[in-house]
Structure 1
Amino acid sequence: MKVRVWIKEVTVLGTILFSGLAFAQTEPDSIALAKNDFEEHFFEALKQKGIENYDKAIVEIEQCLAKEPNNPVLHHELGKNYLALKKYPEAQRAFQKAVDLNPKERWYWNGLYDVFYETKDYAQSIVVVQKLIEFDKDFQDDLVSLYMYTRQFEKALALIEEMERTSNISQMMETYKLQILSESQFKKPQKEHLEEAIRKYPQVEENYIQLIYLYTESNQEEKAMEVARKLEQNIPNSDWAQVSLFKLHLNNGNGEKASQAMYAILNSSKIEQKIKHRVLNEFLIFVNNTNTFDKELEKAVDTFGDETTVNVAKEVGIFFFNKKKADKAIYYFEKSLLKQKDDILVIELLLQAYTESNRFDKVSKRSEEYLEMYPTQARLYYYAGLAQNQLKNYKKAITFLNTGMDFVVGDIDLEINFNIQLGEAYNGLGDQTKKYTYFNRAEQLLKQKK
């Protein structure tokens, strides 16, 4: 998963773009004409980009570059238009030129990062993100993600630990850290050190937690339980004892006791939210692997109902969706939409989950409802058309699909699916000519992808 930092870019045209215009030896009328001509091309380029006519925008920017070939703003704008067209080599050259001309402007580096990330050139992405961190520390999350993609776990762990020393880290960084520490090369023999620390400082909870974790990971469950009991004895009111017991019960496959410990943790005001998320995640994996305790999971998710930073029901729905458990995904996507009804990602995933469970009446009803909210969202038309095909309402399917096709931009897979569904609709109507017309279009698009 890519962790990106998006901040609105500001370009001060008066001071950045036009400051390079030099008319010292030119007549006043000529100055005005040249300046007006330049500005007209530039603003026409912005207009064309705004309506997604990227080719025309490029032509206008090149007119400006003919007058100011060393203006980095122009090269940056050129790169953005090439990137929108997925012309990655051209976009890279343009962004690199902007960086070369003004390496102190972070947005030029952002452009390079976009190119390298979209082309999955993670090695070059790392180089650029290391530069971006100089502008904004939040890019450290991106760098950790890139280290994980490239399996540079040692560097990822070192950076996460550095981030922990200076601030709270995100849930994703917590997940990465757990993943790294589960790798055998990162497990260190610390048991003796922690046992001594507990003897010297019996009121420090963290030592108990770490020791329990180490015993559990080395399958020494009895010793881990002894430490958990000692924690309860030495710190009777410790909510952290429940965290330890939760892990032990889970490892022993005792879902009932694990769920009781989990509820105590989730309802505790002393335990950090990130720990609660970790406990829920571990219980979620347990439920998925055992196909039991679904009601307990539902109850646990409900405890996060007031949280504003993360839509937990959405994340659980995505988990089950990725595990190909459509019915469970549907339950959590519907719960998620009660909290955030305009989340287009969840809407589309819900429609796909309905499709995978063959609930085409639901696909039809919900897609038409959501089209009232998002009348230009191509995928909603696709699902509406697909559902009508399955319900044998072929003329209605064609209407949805033809309308939606107008909103497909730069998504070849979606365009292929539109053509397939149109072919299916005309096949249902017995029009073999149009059926093969659309199937052939889909086939040609598939060949373009190869």
Structure 2
Amino acid sequence: MNFKSTHRKIRKERQFDYFKLALFSFFFFLCSLNMGAQDSIAAPKDLTEEAALKFQQFFFKALSQKSIGNYQKAIENLENCNQLLTNDVAVFFEFSKNYLFSNNGLLAKEYISRALEQDPDNIWMLKHLVKIYQKDRNYKKAIEVQQKIVANEPNEREFLVRLFVYDRQYQEAISLMNILESEYALSSNLKRLKESLEARKSNLVKEIKLEDIGPLTDQFNKDKSYLILKQILKISYDKPEILLKYSEEGISLFPAQPYVYLMKGKALNDQNNYKNALLTLQNGIDFVIEDKMEADFYKEIAKAYKGLGNKKEENNYKQRAKKLKI
């Protein structure tokens, strides 16, 4: 072997060594994201030099395509990874994320299940499974998984409260909030939610019956009362500019009250700002605890999709509203 051939061989071996070190570092970084969870995402098994290089290229292409929203391209690259290295946890996890982003809940669930078979206590993968169930509005299953997360991560109880509320398990939500409050761990948003649930349960909330918006706005500017704000929004129902102004302030002051999101969504729909209306309504619907308001959200979401020219989703949300028989 001449000098040049030997030199090329040595350089190639060094490049492969650098690659192995970089690949190991990358997967170590993925593992470290899990805040100490052991073996949360396993590094690839030993591959031949050629296979390892191909795996690296396909995997990083998948991450790159996912980051710009090209989920089908990401999936194609992950399929190539899977051919090179079958049953890899990291690849299964990425498959699941891309299928979820592509609104294919069935395959998203299938791949995260495969990953969890190998690493059943991985917090990040369990959180991802909660997202899948939440998107399917299967809150009972989401609660089961979240309870498993909470067993190892008590600071995740706040989200468990919200899942109880989404599933209309109000007493369980209040009981858990009482525990958090006794530990001085109840956030300001949950305090407002707790007050709202307790007021609803005891039927103590009484609407202020005023027709003139002037005294209402003066009073609201002084005490920032939610009940006053709600009355302002009701009176301003057909006045998009006023409705938008006070609903935006309402979201800032009372971020867990769904009615302010509903009114902002309506105001934006009335102004033909359908994209922002849809975003606002989607953000607010998770706080809804009553069928009547849920139906109202669906009707406004249908209007937004109609304005965006999406007939399929418009009809979908109209049907959801009808199913609630409101």
Letter in 2 for 1:418: L
- CA deviations over 1:359-398 (Å, ceiling 9, x no partner): x6xx7xxx7xxxxxxxxxx82699xxxxxxxxxxxxxxxx
- CA deviations over 1:412-431 (Å, ceiling 9, x no partner): 97564233xxxxxxxxxxxx
Q: TM-score with structure 1 length normalisation?
A: 0.46
**Is residue 2:307 matched to residue 1:417?**
yes
Give 1:22 deviation, angstroms. Answer: 1.9
Label 1:56 to 1:355 Cα distance change in 2 as closer, same or farther (>3 A).
Answer: closer
After superposition, residues 34-113 of structure 1 pair within 5 angstroms as 34-113=51-130
Matching residue within 32, 55, 61 for 2:49: 32
* Whole-angstrom CA distance in 1 between matches of 2:277 and 2:162: 34
- CA deviations over 1:347-368 (Å, ceiling 9, x no partner): 9976852663xxx6xx7xxx7x
After superposition, residues 16-27 of structure 1 pair within 5 angstroms as 19-23=43-47
* Whole-angstrom CA distance in 1 between matches of 2:200 and 2:261: 36
Aligned residues: 251
**Is residue 2:199 matched to residue 1:300?**
no
- Give yes or no for contact 1:317–1:332 (8 Å, CA) kept in 2: no
- Give yes or no for contact 1:333–1:350 (8 Å, CA) kept in 2: yes
Letter in 2 for 1:320: L
* Higher RCO (CA < 8 A, seq sep 6+): 2
- Give yes or no for contact 2:63–2:74 (8 Å, CA) kept in 1: yes
Give 1:168 deviation, angstroms. Answer: 3.9
Give 1:134 deviation, angstroms. Answer: 3.4
Q: Tell me what 1:138 maps to.
A: 155
- Give yes or no for contact 1:76–1:108 (8 Å, CA) kept in 2: yes
Identity within the alignment, %? 19
Give 1:124 deviation, angstroms. Answer: 0.2
Q: Tell me what 1:14 maps to.
A: 27
Q: Tell me what 1:125 maps to.
A: 142
* Whole-angstrom CA distance in 2 between matches of 1:323 and 1:122: 35
Label 1:142 to 1:444 Cα distance change in 2 as closer, same or farther (>3 A).
Answer: closer
Label 1:140 to 1:321 Cα distance change in 2 as closer, same or farther (>3 A).
Answer: farther
Instruction: Give unmatched runs, 5+ long, in structure 2.
Output: 1-23, 32-40, 254-259, 279-300, 320-326
**Is residue 2:233 matched to residue 1:320?**
yes
* Whole-angstrom CA distance in 2 between matches of 1:123 and 1:336: 30
* Whole-angstrom CA distance in 2 between matches of 1:380 and 1:153: 30
* Whole-angstrom CA distance in 1 between matches of 2:160 and 2:166: 10
Letter in 2 for 1:417: G
Label 1:158 to 1:350 Cα distance change in 2 as closer, same or farther (>3 A).
Answer: closer
Letter in 1 for 2:110: R
* Whole-angstrom CA distance in 1 between matches of 2:134 and 2:231: 23
Give 1:323 deviation, angstroms. Answer: 8.7
Label 1:99 to 1:22 Cα distance change in 2 as closer, same or farther (>3 A).
Answer: same
* Whole-angstrom CA distance in 1 between matches of 2:104 and 2:115: 17
Q: Tell me what 1:428 maps to.
A: none
- CA deviations over 1:260-292 (Å, ceiling 9, x no partner): xxxxxxxxxxxxxxxxxxxxxx7xx744x4345
Q: Tell me what 1:290 maps to.
A: 210
Give 1:34 deviation, angstroms. Answer: 1.1
- CA deviations over 1:314-351 (Å, ceiling 9, x no partner): x9589937994645433425768999xxxxxx999768
**Is residue 2:267 matched to residue 1:353?**
yes
Letter in 1 for 2:162: S
Q: TM-score with structure 2 length normalisation?
A: 0.61
* Whole-angstrom CA distance in 1 between matches of 2:173 and 2:251: 34
Give 1:177 deviation, angstroms. Answer: 3.2
Give 1:74 deviation, angstroms. Answer: 1.1
Instruction: Give unmatched runs, 5+ long, in structure 1.
Output: 1-10, 24-30, 188-215, 218-281, 305-311, 340-345, 368-377, 383-410, 420-441
Letter in 2 for 1:20: P
**Is residue 2:275 matched to residue 1:379?**
yes
* Whole-angstrom CA distance in 2 between matches of 1:145 and 1:82: 25
* Whole-angstrom CA distance in 2 between matches of 1:91 and 1:318: 43
Secondary structure, counterpart of 1:120 in structure 2: coil
* Whole-angstrom CA distance in 1 between matches of 2:200 and 2:252: 39
* Whole-angstrom CA distance in 1 between matches of 2:248 and 2:316: 37
Q: Which protein is bigger by CA-based radius of gyration?
A: 1
Letter in 1 for 2:27: G
Q: Tell me what 2:244 maps to.
A: 330
Give 1:143 deviation, angstroms. Answer: 1.5
Q: Tell me what 1:153 maps to.
A: 170
Label 1:181 to 1:123 Cα distance change in 2 as closer, same or farther (>3 A).
Answer: same
Secondary structure, counterpart of 2:86 in structure 1: coil
Give 1:63 deviation, angstroms. Answer: 1.5
* Whole-angstrom CA distance in 2 between matches of 1:318 and 1:54: 45
